[in-house]
Amino acid sequence: MEQKRISSEIRFFVWEFADAAILTKKRRQVKRVEIYIKPMEKIQAVAKKEILLQDIAELYAEGMILKDLERLPVFYVPQEEKKTYLLSVLHLVQCIHEKYPQAEVLNLGAADILIEYLPKERKGGRLWSWMKAVFVAAVLFVGAATTIMCFHTDVQLPLIFRNIYYIFYGKKAEMPLLLFIPYSIGLGLGIILFFNHFSSFSLTQDPTPIEIEMTTYEKETNASVIDQLGKGKGEQ
């Protein structure tokens, strides 16, 4: 009896070992799929509540799964109001693993995505847009002109030009136009060259200082919004 019990236990362990070996072999035979995602920092969804993976990230994968990944729903806007939502890249990885458990997801983009939902597309009249542009241009022109005049008054530029004119020509002139006119032209040309864009003409393809500042402002704003929304989730 004892020998039969021992032999049955040995057969049981052999079968268990064989089943485990077969399962391990099958798992190794399953090809792991590499999926590369590059989420954007921020997107706008206009009257679209179902957000797909292709709406918020660039995708790359081998085989036929790329089309399925692009149509994969990852978020649904719960309310019909203008609001910004925070979505973590971990949620994207979870959604992909639910459909492709053997996939290896590699993130090459942002770790947090902002989704700005707009119930309807913003519409503005052409006249109203031109009025706003003219108003902003007028404010900037007056502000820049005031700044330049204050600077010239502070450094006593007119007095400097009078002294330079007297040194070279030996005459006193209250308004030496020979110096003022070239200086004014050079000041305008310098501003145009510095900002690199005048109408549709540009000297190089590099971004202008204003574009750089706007990009920096947008990145800092997105980081602040992500921080605030993240703290809100933590408090909940």
Residue identified by tokens 């600077």 is 151
**pLDDT mean values, one per 10 residues, the chain (236 residues):** 52 50 45 85 90 93 85 90 91 91 90 90 76 91 91 90 90 87 88 68 70 88 88 60
User: What is the per-residue pLDDT for 30?
Assistant: 41
User: What is the per-residue pLDDT for 86?
Assistant: 92
User: What is the per-residue pLDDT for 189?
Assistant: 85
User: What is the per-residue pLDDT for 119?
Assistant: 87
Q: Give the pTM.
A: 0.63
* CA 221 – CA 214 distance, rounded (Å): 10
Torsions phi, psi for 46 (to 5 deg): -100, 110
Is 131 within 8 Å of 138 (Cβ atoms)? no
User: What is the per-residue pLDDT for 204?
Assistant: 67
The SS3 of residue 195 is helix
SS (H, E, C) 144-155: HHHHHHHHHHHH
* CA 120 – CA 48 distance, rounded (Å): 9
User: How many CA atoms are closer than 13 Å to the CA of 150, on its beta-carbon side?
Assistant: 6
* CA 231 – CA 236 distance, rounded (Å): 9
Token pair of 3 as six digits: 């020998």
Residue identified by tokens 């954007």 is 40
